[in-house]
Amino acid sequence: MKTEVDNLVEISRFRNVTNIFDDRKHAGIVLSGMLSIYKNTDAIIFGIPAGGAPVATAMANKLNLRLDLAIVSKITLPWNTEAGYGAVAFDGSVLLNNNIVSEIGLSEGDVEEGIKKATNKVQMRLKKLRGDKPFPDTQNITSILVDDGIASGFTMLTAINALKRIGSKDIIVAVPTAHLKSLELISPEVQKIYCANVRDGWGFAVASAYKNWRDVDELELNQLIIPDQDIE
């Protein structure tokens, strides 16, 4: 099926369909089938917590790939913690959607406070989930960025840019579901995108792709990352 994104691999029968995946683990298994060419290679899967961690864990287990984390946090609106206007990455970099900032009239103080909260969240998760372990050398291997879905694309774009800053050159994105516009945004920045369920139109929600949807809490996140996996 011809798509609007040249480097996109999708499952055609899932286009604009909802309630596809039982849960995030099931979504990871479906994605594993799409990325079977990477099985038993030196590629590294980078899950974006929290929601991307169970998807990434299922993929790493099925494909026998090394698992790591690309910790990124949305910068959320003061009155709506679900809606974001940018993101902060594990390397401290910040990406803002200046159009949204202007449209809703956020003050400089609002933005600074939002960045501060997101930065604190990233630093807390880095300390809990990675400790003082350095990031792996990704210069000559494939980095697979995984989340549970992409709505605006800014969180994923922030993660992509941060991986590039640590030396990643061959970056692919793998997500169960995404809005087409967000894929068009990130497409020029990566080698390939694997997305099982592409949707367009109004009213997109990542949760609509899942039959069972709930937040991934910090305790579950800690348990999902394999404790004896050596992240060097």
Token pair of 28 as six digits: 């990871």
Relative orientation angle of helices 52-63 and 24-34, to the nearest 10 degrees: 40
Are 229 and 67 in contact by the 8 Å Cβ rule? The answer is: yes
Sign of CA dihedral 113, 119, 121, 127: negative
Which helix or strand (DSSP H or E) is residue 96 part of? strand 94-96
pTM value surpassing 0.85:
yes
Q: Taking residues 128-136, what's their average pLDDT?
A: 83
Q: How confident is the model at residue 58 (pLDDT cuts 50, 70, 90)?
A: very high
- Report the amino acid identity of residue 16: N
Are 141 and 161 in contact by the 8 Å Cβ rule? The answer is: no
d(CA 217, CA 126) in angstroms, rounded, equals 15
d(CA 55, CA 163) in angstroms, rounded, equals 19
Look at residue 11 and tell me whether its pLDDT is greater than 60. yes
Cross-sheet strand order for the sheet of 80-89: 72-77, 80-89, 94-96
Domains (range + CATH), the chain: 8-135+142-212 (3.40.50.2020)
Q: DSSP letters along 49-91, please?
A: TTTHHHHHHHHHHHHT-EEEE--EEEEEETTEEEEEEEEEETT
Q: DSSP letters along 159-174, please?
A: HHHHHHHTT--EEEEE
Q: What pLDDT does residue 225 have?
A: 59
| 178 against 128, higher pLDDT | 178
Look at residue 29 and tell me whether its pLDDT is greater than 50. yes
Q: What pLDDT does residue 39 have?
A: 97
Q: Which one, of 113, 67, 119, 116, lies nearest residue 91 by Cα?
A: 119
Are 72 and 154 in contact by the 8 Å Cβ rule? The answer is: no
Q: Taking residues 195-216, what's their average pLDDT?
A: 93
User: What SS3 state is found at 119?
Assistant: helix
